[in-house]
Amino acid sequence: MRGLACLVLSTFLPLGNAVMAADPGYDRVAGRGHASRSEVIAPHGMAATSQPLATQIALDILKSGGSAVDAAIAANAALGLMEPTGSGIGGDLFAIVWDAEKNELTGLNASGRAPQGMTLEYFKDRGIAPIPKFGPLPVSVPGAVDGWFELHGRYGRLSMEQILAPAIRYAREGFPVSEVIAHYFVSNRNRIGHYPGFAETYMPGGDVPKKGEMFRNPRLANTYEAIATKGRDEFYKGDIARAIDAYMAEQGGLLSYDDLAAHTSEWVTPVSTNYRGWDVYELPPNGQGIAALQILNVLEGYDIAAMGFGSAEYLHTLIEAKKLAFEDRAKYYVDMDFADVPVAWLISKQYAAERRALISAERASMSLPAGDRKLEDGDTIYLTVADADGNMVSLIQSNYRGMGSGMTPGDLGFVLQNRAELFALDAAHANVVEGGKRPFHTIIPAFVMKDGEPLMSFGLMGGAMQPQGHAQIVVNMVDFGMNLQEAGDAARINHTGSSEPTGSVMTDGGVVNLEDDFSAATRAALEEKGHTLGASDGSFGGYQAIMFDKEQGVYYGASEVRKDGQAAGY
């Protein structure tokens, strides 16, 4: 494999003393020396997605001579069919790509912008506040298809007809719905099933498909075929765009043909911080990726390994670091075409030291200030693919709030996203709604370099869980010695209630949601520090990862135990 130098292999060693020093009441096997499953190891390529059939499609593309990006696009298209509860071409896309031949790490922001008619005055004049979660008003331009073609234009080897053919076949012939996706179909039916076009597409038998039921979406097959044969302009300037325009006009929405025709993606440079020798990369705003870097910078000032995994001391420190980062997230993370976002300052070690001083070791904070610099819901899919030439792609894609807005145009076979819900309706807020502006975004891919070489492509989808989840994965591996699968299996926390980019403010410290495996002693100690604990509600994200071992010439793969996913190689 080209372009990958020798990596330190300590990452792959058995768990060390740091993990064994964890809270003795922590019972999950993932904290005790083994995971729910072994890491997957293969020499030629690896794919990890949230749906086994999508993983197999990615591998088939790799075996057919496709690149990692070709396989990622094919898997994403399959997930838009098989896991529409978290993805689809009505949504947006972000990616980080390692190009082994050029020895280059590149990012793509394929998020869409607000329609030109979506202004603060529109909502004020009609007395609408906040922006609705569902229906025609929160729909922004879907960027995923343009993202596919941007990625393919730089890194593709096979034709788009070859890449989309597997998803088209499954859309026509059908596939059996898996367990987690069947569950989310029900919740999406209950909140958006009444919108025109939804039932015709997703409830052809009178209800959404159940676990094991064969489901077909011939409408989406037709749409994919049109995109494959006519190109990206068919979606943004052709018959698909005209169908979306007509449907949105009928529903009283703001998205128009002109908004679609004007859309472009943006190639960006990933930004990073070094956490104890690991260079962790995220994309800059309008996404929330740099919150993970801010959390890690704060945590680096503590001896996390000595605290022990699952201990109240560690969890309290993690929660407080998350709160600090999310106050800045609420204030600063916006479309950088519309504001001077101080990214370098926010992810600097000096700033982390200043913010760290606000943390009390004994008491939970009820409210916190954002840094003074003058100038949680959401379902997603994450996937990662690596090929035989050393190329790796970290890709995340979503409609937001599960299946999105409920707007299911014509006979196209997909739902449009509702990302514009995340705009603020405060003229003084940096994230205030404005035509042509990209909304604050939750979906974030991640990548790790070590000693100047690529090490790991990973992500953990799930709304505001994502940056705190990214930080937990890195800490699990670096501080607690877990391997790739163990790091994802280990119990997680999800702190909710921080200030938000929509304008809401944390005043009561928020709520700490813990997975069941944390001990009663840890829970009691957190409550004694003033934290409010919530139930284990399942909102702990979905993890996929690939790591490369240059010395052996193999990839390691891991997939989320909480989902239907699969990591597989060849």
Which pLDDT score is estimated for 133? 95
Identity of residue 449: M
**Sign of the alpha-carbon torsion through 299, 285, 381, 61:** negative
pLDDT in tens, 201-235: 999 999 999 999 999 999 999 999 999 999 999 99
pLDDT in tens, 418-446: 999 999 999 999 999 999 999 999 999 99
Which pLDDT score is estimated for 5? 34
Burial class for 57, CB neighbours closer than 10 Å (0-12, 13-18, 19+)? buried
Distance CA 36, CA 46 (A): 19
If you average pLDDT over residues 293-320, what whole number do you get?
98
| φ and ψ at residue 494, rounded to 5 degrees | -140, 105
DSSP 113-163: ---TT--HHHHHHTT--S--SSSSTT-----HHHHHHHHHHHH--S-HHHH
If you average pLDDT over residues 76-93, what whole number do you get?
97
Mean pLDDT of the chain: 92
If you average pLDDT over residues 363-383, what whole number do you get?
73
For residue 38 the two structure tokens come to 């072994």
Which pLDDT score is estimated for 417? 97
Which pLDDT score is estimated for 35? 78
pLDDT in tens, 391-402: 999 999 999 999
pLDDT in tens, 95-148: 999 999 999 999 999 999 999 999 999 999 999 999 999 999 999 999 999 999
Which pLDDT score is estimated for 59? 98
Distance CA 463, CA 532 (A): 21
pLDDT in tens, 524-538: 999 999 999 997 766
Cβ distance 425 to 131 under 8 Å? Answer: yes
Identity of residue 9: L
If you average pLDDT over residues 530-549, what whole number do you get?
90
In this predicted structure, the answer to whether residue 562 has a pLDDT above a threshold of 60 is yes
Which pLDDT score is estimated for 380? 81
What Cα–Cα distance (Å) separates residue 42 from each residue in 96, 174, 482, 561?
22, 30, 20, 20
**What percentage of the chain carries pLDDT values higher than 70?**
92
In this predicted structure, the answer to whether residue 331 has a pLDDT above a threshold of 60 is yes
Give the residue with greater pLDDT, 407 vs 377. Answer: 407
Lowest average pLDDT, out of 33-37, 131-135, 481-485, goes to 33-37
Cβ distance 463 to 11 under 8 Å? Answer: no
Which pLDDT score is estimated for 538? 63
The candidate with the shortest Cα–Cα distance to 512, out of 275, 318, 253, 266, is 318
Answer whether the bond into residue 130 is a cis peptide, omega within 30°. Answer: yes
If you average pLDDT over residues 379-385, what whole number do you get?
89
380 is catalytic: yes
Long-range contacts of 245-251 (CB under 8 A, 24+ apart): 246/409, 246/410, 247/196, 247/197, 247/407, 247/409, 247/410, 248/136, 248/139, 248/407, 248/409, 248/416, 250/196, 251/135, 251/136, 251/195, 251/196, 251/407
Identity of residue 241: A
Which pLDDT score is estimated for 550? 87
What is the band of 18 on the pLDDT scale with cuts at 50, 70, 90?
very low
* Residue 72 C-alpha from the chain's centroid: 14
Which pLDDT score is estimated for 370? 82
Domains observed in the chain: 9-38+285-378+461-547 (1.10.246.130), 46-267+379-422 (no CATH)
If you average pLDDT over residues 357-368, what whole number do you get?
93
Which pLDDT score is estimated for 14? 32
Helix (H, G, I), strand (E, B) or coil at 202: helix
Distance CA 465, CA 531 (A): 18
pLDDT in tens, 249-271: 999 999 999 999 999 999 999 99
Active-site residue identified among 380, 384, 496, 502: 380
For residue 400 the two structure tokens come to 């937001």
Identity of residue 390: G
Count Cβ atoms below 10 Å from residue 181 Cβ, excluding itself.
22
Distance CA 302, CA 298 (A): 8
DSSP state of 396: E
If you average pLDDT over residues 473-485, what whole number do you get?
97
**What percentage of the chain carries pLDDT values higher than 90?**
87
